[in-house]
Amino acid sequence: MSQELKQPEWADHASERLADAGYRRGGARSAVIDLLARQDCALSAFEIEEALRADGGRPVARASVYRVIDELEQLKLISRIEVGHGISRYEAVHPGGHHHHHHLVCDACEKVIPFEDDELERTIHRVADRVAFDVAEHEIVLHGSCGDCGPRASRRSA
Amino acid sequence: MSQELKQPEWADHASERLADAGYRRGGARSAVIDLLARQDCALSAFEIEEALRADGGRPVARASVYRVIDELEQLKLISRIEVGHGISRYEAVHPGGHHHHHHLVCDACEKVIPFEDDELERTIHRVADRVAFDVAEHEIVLHGSCGDCGPRASRRSA
DNA sequence: ATCAGTGCAAAACATTTGCAGCATG
DNA sequence: CATGCTGCAAATGTTTTGCACTGAT
């Protein structure tokens, strides 16, 4: 069940790297970083905006969410994942590859669930060495249906 | 390398399945199917429209491209891949899992290159069995830089 | 005080949908 | 000749951009 990691250290890490890169401390940026630091899996831009608006404290305009996301992605502090349905999702990248994971996507309820597998990582690295291509990152998405939607509910009415 | 497969059989296969599903033989549909049959890797909706307009014969409206894509995807005759950059790409699915492959994406020139790896497939299936999730499909994308863009050109100016 | 950071509204895309006319079975 | 197929144009949804204002250094 997506192990609720919560890594405030990442927020500090990200803030430092941003400062190193010459960015100032704006409120919208901090709010997005703090929110992302508290997640255990990827959020869409809309979900980020929504969560910040509900969170009590600091509503952040959609445009700012996208701008912060863009900065963080360029510094490789977050990674973008594309699981279909036309939207991008973003999640913290922890230094040293800790908590590196991939995603199960329920095509019925659109839920995104993280999973880790060391053997898969080893295999991917072996493949990366084998191809005539300089591999920097990899993304693995398993589509199907989650427990809630029933092990047989792959096909959907929507 | 992308081995220029060209499988006219797939066009027939797809046409049959569409007929079975009660579809007629419209010109736009045939044109899209024929084009996809001639590809060795995934095309975007825009590339499909463009290719058909240039191809000499049968321009197909964007809406029709999307409609045909949608029909083919629902019948699992093509698969949708998302490699970032905000667009979807589509490619023929060959019966029996033949020519099943994954993708290398050059983040410099945005080229998409197919690759196959049996060990990776075995590992993925092992993972699929292990998770509490009913896995129907999987998608693997390796990001980096292709030969043309230099084995060290992962970072990009654009 | 300066210049980066932010919000709002409009623009730019990819994709979807409504509807009128064309063509297949 | 009826119904499905197609094209056009408008709608939708996500992401980006322009510009004026706010706030950090």
CB-CB neighbors (< 8 A) of B123 in chain A: 119-120, 123
Is residue B88 domain-shared with residue B108, that is, in the same domain?
A: no
Same domain, B8 and B81: yes
Q: How many helices (H) and strands (E) in chain A?
A: 5, 6
pLDDT at position A155: 42
Distance in angstroms, CA of A127 to C1' of C22?
Answer: 51
Residues B21 and B2 in one domain: yes
What are the chain A neighbours of B124 within 8 Å (beta carbons)?
120, 140, 142
Q: Which of A99, A123, A138 is the last residue of a domain?
A: A99
Contacts of B68 (CB under 8 A, 6+ apart): B28, B29, B32, B33, B60
* Whole-number pLDDT of residue B144: 93
Q: Do A54 and A109 share a domain, yes or no?
A: no
Nucleotides of C under 7 A from a protein CB: 4-10, 14-18, 23-25
In this structure, are A6 and A65 located in the same domain? yes
Q: Which amino acid is at B95?
A: P
Our CA-based measurement puts residue B30 at a distance from the nearest CA of chain A, in whole angstroms, of 26
User: What is the rounded CA–CA span in Å between residue B146 and residue B58?
Assistant: 33
Please tell me whether residues A18 and A95 are part of one structural domain: yes
Q: How far is A45 from chain B (nearest CA, A)?
A: 13
Return the sign of the alpha-carbon dihedral for residues B85, B88, B90, B93. Answer: positive
Residue B155 has pLDDT above 80, yes or no: no
Smallest CA–C1' separation from A26, nucleotide: C5
Reported as type and span, the H/E element at residue B74 is helix B62-74
Q: Single out the residue of B97, B98, B101 nearest to residue B89, CA to CA.
A: B101
Last residue of a domain, one of B99, B115, B136: B99
- CB atoms near residue A23 (< 10 Å): 14
The answer to which of A114-123, B27-36, B77-86, B144-153 has the lowest mean pLDDT is B144-153
Q: Are B141 and B106 in contact (CB under 8 A)?
A: no
Answer yes or no: do A84 and A11 share one domain: yes
Which position has the higher pLDDT, A155 or B123?
Answer: B123
Q: Supply the mean pLDDT for chain B.
A: 90
Q: How far is CA B115 from CA A124, B102, B118, in A?
A: 12, 5, 10
Using the CA of B32, which nucleotide's C1' is the nearest one?
D6
Longest dimension (CA), chain B: 51
Q: Is the dihedral of CA A129, A135, A136, A140 positive or negative?
A: negative
Which residues in chain A are closer than 8 Å to B113, comparing Cβ atoms? 133
pLDDT value for B80? 95
pLDDT of residue A151: 65
Smallest Cα–Cα separation from A81: which of A140, A8, A10?
A140
Give the model's pLDDT for residue A4.
53
Positive/negative CA dihedral, B51, B146, A93, A105 = positive
pLDDT value of residue A149: 85
For residue B48, what are the CA distances in angstroms to A47, A149, B39, B88? Answer: 32, 35, 10, 12
pLDDT in tens, chain A (158 residues): 444 556 679 999 999 999 999 999 999 999 999 999 999 899 999 999 999 999 777 999 999 999 999 999 999 999 999 988 889 999 999 999 999 999 999 988 888 999 999 999 999 999 999 999 999 999 999 999 998 887 654 443 33
> Going edge to edge, which strands form the sheet with A78-82?
A43-44, A88-92, A78-82
Of the two residues A53 and B2, the one the predictor is more confident about is A53
CB-CB under 8 Å, B113 with A133: yes
Mark yes or no for CB contact A137/B117 under 8 Å: no
Q: Let me know whether A88 and A37 are in one domain.
A: yes
Domain match, A90 and A120 both: no
CATH number for the domain spanning B50: value is 1.10.10.10
Q: Could you tell me if A9 and A51 lie in one domain?
A: yes
Residue B158 in this model has a pLDDT that exceeds 60: no
Asked if residue A106 and residue A84 are part of one domain, the reply reads no
- Complete edge-to-edge strand list for the sheet that includes strand A134-146: A112-115, A102-106, A134-146, B133-145, B102-106, B112-115
- pLDDT mean over B132-152: 89
Tally the domains of chain A. 2
The CATH number of whichever domain residue A115 belongs to comes to: 3.30.1490.190
- B76 and B108 co-located in one domain: no
SS3 A113: strand
| Domain boundary, last residue among B84, B99, B114 | B99
Q: How many CA atoms lie within 13 A of A131 on its CB side?
A: 30
pLDDT average, residue stretch B9-13: 95
- CB neighbour list of residue B16: distance below 8 Å, 6 or more residues apart: none
What pLDDT was estimated at residue B84? 83
Element (H, E) at B63: helix B62-74
Per the model's pLDDT, the better-predicted residue between B66 and A55 turns out to be B66
User: What are the C-alpha distances in Å from B10 to residues A137, B29, B40, B91, B130?
Assistant: 32, 14, 12, 11, 33
What's the sign of the alpha-carbon dihedral A134, A136, A85, A150?
Answer: positive
Domain holding B122, by residue range, is 101-158
- Counted residue by residue, chain A has a size of 158
Tell me the shortest Cα–Cα distance from B141 to chain A, in angstroms: 5
B144 and A134: CB-CB below 8 Å? yes
Q: Which residues of B touch A153 (CB under 8 A)?
A: 134
